[in-house]
Structure 1
Amino acid sequence: MAFAGVLLLVVVVAFGCWLGIKAFDAKSNLEQARLNAQQAKDALLQGNTDEATRRADNAASHAQSARDATHSLPWDVTAAIPWLGTPFRTGQQISDVVLGLTADVLQPSARTGTALSPDRLLQGNRVDVQLLRDQEPTLSELAEASARLDADAQSIGDPGYLSVLEDARTQLQGQTADVASLLENTALASRLAPVMMGADGPRTYFMAFQTNAEARGTGGLLGGFGILRFNDGAPSVDTLATNRELVRASAPVDLGREFADQYGFANPFTDFRNSNLSSHFPYAAQIWKSMWEQESAMGIDGVIALDPIALSYILGAAGSVTMPDGEVVTRDNVVELTESTAYSRFPTDQLARKQYLQDIASEVVKKMTGPIQSPRALLDALGKAVSERRISVWSSSPEEQAMLEETPLAHVIPDDPAPYAEVVLNNLGGNKMDYYLDRGIEYAADGCSGDTRLSTVTIRLTNDTPQQPLPDFVAGAPGIAPEIPIRVPSGTNVASVKLLATKGATLVSALASGQKVPVITSAERGHPSFEVQVAIPPGKSGEISFRLSEPTSPGIPRVPIQPLVDNVIPKVSVPECSS
């Protein structure tokens, strides 16, 4: 009897050791698989396909070892035990997803990335649209596989009493969501880019240059424009003009009663300066398209907008340009030249200033559309500009626009109930004071226990105007319309500050520098809109706080950032609620 007891004890201890060894193998291999998978994804984003392939292979090897450990005999036996086996079942699910992620997504993605390396995709100044189109079926299959794995990851069970597995589950879910989003956008690009870049015939686009020293909803005032053409992936620009070409232009388009009620006072269809007060880019795009078609009788297939900061990134990749007078325009000075220096250099001569800015635009466009020495650097620069919302795209084709609206390029006000806080500034002074504006944005909300919750959106604005005098054109305040005069000291930043909130949200209170202020309440595309108007003297700061009651809607909270001169990283403290 004693011998049987000893034998049983030995078996239990041996089983425990065996299980412990498998647990150690699973943990170490899962950690290595996750690390190598992240490095593979980063390498793919950087266009380093050799490194991506190596990391993906390493990840797959570790993932297979982890799965073998979590599906071994001692692990299977323990996982079958009620309650005690809960974290072991979670470990099996985690290892299954990691193996699928590495073997079914990352390894084939690395192989596809080799086929679509920047050096192959960009030849001189031409994009190989056929190569991109040929890879579309593979990219779509990868996107579907990553979406399935992401769904599997989100459904991994609660590990119960083992918190370390809870952390691993959360990290894996974030990783699969990132990969699924990346591959979905890549597959969309492979479907959309060839046709928009002239694979099936020439395309023509209105290319807007936004001057975000004077804030508008989509970024900045329309300062100038060009006509960009694509033919079988090769770009060319045959028209560059200042905004004076649109002084008498009008846009006979109907954007609905809501738009007219909210923005009609500023004559957006006949005054290009106020054509993009809304942050919903398709509105501005349709107005600009219509204005140019009325002026030129030229058909337009879409609209692309970018700002001087995006141009600085492009110059960083393509190289500097030299003006006819010898002045060198680089990634380091193009923003200051176009948004500050030009106004001090030509304080009263608007024609000379506009010509100077057009000359810079002309040289930069030549560089952009000429041969590219480093395709990888250019793609990195464009990616950075897109991530900061500094490039916007709209297509006149409803099918193409629907696909664009699934990407970060569309800049639409979304039609869904997820938590939302978009802060939109419009310059009311008719000046260039937003070059000196710094913003801070914070969105905080209570938990998910009730049908509604309190939330607060706080906007901090600082007017960093320099001590030296500025030209009246920069620091004066003529207003955005002659019938709306503004009288403030020189250098004052006068702004409309609008919050587009979560659908169904209601305003509890609005404070400016701690004092209650009147609020203009309206709605845009289903989102409640709350607007206050502020004046911030030179060297001063102001704080606007909107306190809301909003639905505890499911979804990831979003705080889209208006692309102005400063680069804002919002602080978001909003719990993500489940459905």
Structure 2
Amino acid sequence: MTTEPGLAPGPVDAAPGAAAGQAADSRLPARARRRRWRRAASIVLAALVLAVAAASLLVARDARDAQAALESAAARVPALQAAVAASGDHATLTAQLDGLARDTATARERTNGPLWSLGARLPVLGPNLDAVARVAAALDDVARDVAPVLADVRTAVAATGHADGAVDVDALREIAPRVSAAHTTMDAVTTSLSTLDTTRLLARLAEPIETLRTRVLDMSGAVATADRATTLLPAMLGADGPRTYLVLALTNAELRTGGGIVGAVVELRAEAGRVEVVREIAGSDLPVFPTPVAELDPQTAQIFSDRPARFVQDLSMTPEFPTTAALAAQMWAQSQGEQVDGVLATDPVALARILAVTGPVDVPLPPSRAAALGVASLSVSADNAVQVLEHEVYTSLAFAPEEADAFFGALVTQAASHLESDANGADLLAALAASASEHRVRVWSAHPSEQAELSGTVIAGTFLSSPAAADDVGVFFDDPVVGKMSWYLDTSITLVTSQCTDRGRLDTIDVTLTSTAPPDAATLPSYVAGLWTNPVPPGTVRTVLRVAGPQGEPTPRFERDGQGFGMDTHPLAGRSMASGTITLAPGQSTTVRVTVTASPAAGRGEGARPAGSLWVWSTPTAHAGGLLTATVPRCAP
């Protein structure tokens, strides 16, 4: 080893400069050292500010992209729902699905990075970022796993008809597992979105987020319906053996709580997807039973008497359709000696919607009326069905009561026969869904497993028994007069206010009843105007108003036209039901204001219905549907 002259070998100093620097630094005054540390801290802080600024810019960029994608997706949802429900162009439906998938994938990608996750933990801004991310993820799940399945269901339903009019039950069973999986996904989406508290969001963000959430949640009902339909319909349409059903044809011209009186009963037979009419019987041709065909629970009997269990016309006096249907099945078994697999109910408004799908039908007239009118049949269409069935058969056509019932039954038979050959499946389902949403179509199965699936749905009519309806309010109408003056009853049910108070959420509902009867209503045929033996003069609209509050809550408070209004109150299935009679001369109108206390869970937005919603059931009339859904506040505990 060689060395430069004058240098001896030995250990090398690893950092002579550093040691010298430390030595020099130690000799600096304290003030200089502090300046050096402040300078270093400033550099680090500046770097952090730059990093935060860059991250903020990236998050802002992602937020703008996500917002644009979500707005585009939200705009597509209503059109997509309409396309799925109707028999529109398949290419248009496909384009909407593809566009929705692109939009939601973009929104999810832009809200799914580490910077966004960190931002979601910040105060103030965090809940807003979290809400956008959750909505984006929910929409993407719907676009990928739910919407395409709904579109396939619509396609399958539209193509299920055979040439002989039968429904392809095998096709429904084939798609059922996919629909069930979509239902599971939708349940998860619903759970995630239902916990979003938009009151914590920035004002400019809260409204669009709420709109998006509402539109997504609106689809959950369609998914649940599709799941039940593909699961239940094959068996109910006779895929596993023949089925027998009764159809109760309800007449809204004489109201009962669940709709109208039973004007006719039609027997149907379903086998291997094919449905055919066996026979129809006028309600007046079925016997009056001297004793109840089944025991009513004491609370129901106290309010409605035993008439629902003895008179076929009064089967629909109860708001609980399974009770109505089970009694109808018993009456049929005792009078006709046949057991049935289920009972359906419908009314002229629902029938008119079906005729809009099938086209008009020619219904034979009773011989006496055919001779008097000089024609053998009457053409009934979607345009005139309600007017003919609810009014003209009793007035201008001058049918006898039993002839009117028979004509109604014949019309149902004709419409059912046209369903086998003239109905598009998707259009028919859309018509039935519209009627079901107004409580004009009800279904009950005598098979417990099927009935368990139906319970709580819009077609089940389980106002008293379903936990899903526990927080709902009921406003019902009964016509106690023998006549058809309910045709002249206009009803309006509106939510006036909904307020958070120290007693919980209070909902104020106005129920307005108006008689549209002409001044000379007393001169109408007695079967319409009512007999002189009735407790009111002919031509009078007399209505028993029945109001039921949520389960477990106090009796609602009532005012009529600004004055106190006394109502008889009785318990019914955990509710308090109040009843009061209103009499209206031609042209008169009255408003009953009802104040209802919501259940604590519903008031907080944690009830059985979607947060911030109130459901009010009512009697479907000839002119108004049977369900009001309204937006209400969510109140703090």
Q: Same fold (TM over 0.5)?
A: yes
Matched, 1:340 2:412: no
Relative to structure 1, is the Cα distance of residues 30 and 123 closer, same or farther in structure 2, using a 3 angstrom cutoff?
Answer: farther
Q: CA deviation at 1:130?
A: 1.5
The letter of the residue matching 1:400 is E
Structure 2: distance between partners of 1:200 and 1:98: 38
Is the CA contact 2:345–2:441 (under 8 Å) kept in the aligned structure 1?
A: yes
The letter of the residue matching 1:89 is D
Is the CA contact 1:512–1:544 (under 8 Å) kept in the aligned structure 2?
A: yes
The residue that corresponds to 1:575 in the other structure is: 633
The residue that corresponds to 2:434 in the other structure is: 384
Structure 2: distance between partners of 1:278 and 1:467: 33
Q: Give the unaligned 5+ runs of structure 1.
A: 479-484
The letter of the residue matching 1:471 is P
Matches within 5 A, 1:38-49: 38-48=78-88, 49=90
Structure 1: distance between partners of 2:301 and 2:54: 78
The letter of the residue matching 1:565 is A
The residue that corresponds to 2:254 in the other structure is: 214
Matched, 1:196 2:196: no
The letter of the residue matching 1:30 is L
Deviates more, 1:270-279 or 1:134-143: 270-279
Relative to structure 1, is the Cα distance of residues 342 and 91 closer, same or farther in structure 2, using a 3 angstrom cutoff?
Answer: closer
Relative to structure 1, is the Cα distance of residues 273 and 354 closer, same or farther in structure 2, using a 3 angstrom cutoff?
Answer: closer
Matched, 1:560 2:613: no
The residue that corresponds to 2:36 in the other structure is: none
Structure ID, larger Rg: 2
Q: CA deviation at 1:254?
A: 1.7
Deviates more, 1:118-127 or 1:521-530: 118-127
Is the CA contact 1:521–1:531 (under 8 Å) kept in the aligned structure 2?
A: yes
Question: What per-residue deviation string (whole Å, max 9, x for no partner) do you get for residues 56-97 of structure 1?
Answer: 221221222222222356545544555554433333333222
Question: What per-residue deviation string (whole Å, max 9, x for no partner) do you get for residues 316-339 of structure 1?
Answer: 110111245243211111211111
The residue that corresponds to 1:482 in the other structure is: none
Structure 2 residue aligned with 1:513, among 561, 578, 600? 561
Structure 1: distance between partners of 2:601 and 2:531: 41
SS in 2 for 1:316: helix
Structure 2 residue aligned with 1:63, among 92, 104, 108? 104
Matched, 1:429 2:470: no
Relative to structure 1, is the Cα distance of residues 65 and 539 closer, same or farther in structure 2, using a 3 angstrom cutoff?
Answer: same
Q: Give the unaligned 5+ runs of structure 2.
A: 1-38, 365-375
Is the CA contact 2:299–2:572 (under 8 Å) kept in the aligned structure 1?
A: yes
Question: What per-residue deviation string (whole Å, max 9, x for no partner) do you get for residues 373-412 of structure 1?
Answer: 5333322222222122111111112221111113211111
Structure 2: distance between partners of 1:95 and 1:317: 38
Structure 1 residue aligned with 2:272, among 210, 228, 232? 232
- The alignment-based identity, stated in percent, is 25
Structure 2: distance between partners of 1:113 and 1:344: 42
Structure 1: distance between partners of 2:528 and 2:183: 48
Relative to structure 1, is the Cα distance of residues 494 and 22 closer, same or farther in structure 2, using a 3 angstrom cutoff?
Answer: same
Relative to structure 1, is the Cα distance of residues 16 and 513 closer, same or farther in structure 2, using a 3 angstrom cutoff?
Answer: closer
SS in 1 for 2:293: coil
Structure 1: distance between partners of 2:629 and 2:589: 18
The letter of the residue matching 1:389 is H
Structure 2: distance between partners of 1:88 and 1:303: 50
SS in 1 for 2:617: coil
The residue that corresponds to 2:19 in the other structure is: none
Structure 2: distance between partners of 1:355 and 1:117: 33
Relative to structure 1, is the Cα distance of residues 81 and 263 closer, same or farther in structure 2, using a 3 angstrom cutoff?
Answer: closer
The letter of the residue matching 2:461 is H
The residue that corresponds to 2:573 in the other structure is: 525
Is the CA contact 2:149–2:179 (under 8 Å) kept in the aligned structure 1?
A: no
The residue that corresponds to 2:351 in the other structure is: 311
Matched, 1:371 2:421: yes
Q: CA deviation at 1:104?
A: 2.5
The letter of the residue matching 1:564 is T
Is the CA contact 1:443–1:571 (under 8 Å) kept in the aligned structure 2?
A: no
Relative to structure 1, is the Cα distance of residues 148 and 527 closer, same or farther in structure 2, using a 3 angstrom cutoff?
Answer: same
Q: CA deviation at 1:531?
A: 0.6
Relative to structure 1, is the Cα distance of residues 456 and 161 closer, same or farther in structure 2, using a 3 angstrom cutoff?
Answer: closer
Structure 2 residue aligned with 1:290, among 319, 330, 342? 330
Is the CA contact 2:120–2:129 (under 8 Å) kept in the aligned structure 1?
A: yes
The residue that corresponds to 1:133 in the other structure is: 173
The residue that corresponds to 2:301 in the other structure is: 260
Relative to structure 1, is the Cα distance of residues 151 and 123 closer, same or farther in structure 2, using a 3 angstrom cutoff?
Answer: farther
Is the CA contact 1:57–1:107 (under 8 Å) kept in the aligned structure 2?
A: no
> C-alpha root-mean-square deviation of aligned residues, in Å?
2.9
Structure 2: distance between partners of 1:158 and 1:516: 39
Matched, 1:473 2:524: no
Is the CA contact 2:266–2:413 (under 8 Å) kept in the aligned structure 1?
A: no
Relative to structure 1, is the Cα distance of residues 453 and 34 closer, same or farther in structure 2, using a 3 angstrom cutoff?
Answer: closer
Structure 1: distance between partners of 2:215 and 2:163: 33
Question: What per-residue deviation string (whole Å, max 9, x for no partner) do you get for residues 285-314 of structure 1?
Answer: 122111111111111111111111111111
Structure 1: distance between partners of 2:214 and 2:338: 47
TM-score by length of 1: 0.90
The letter of the residue matching 1:259 is T
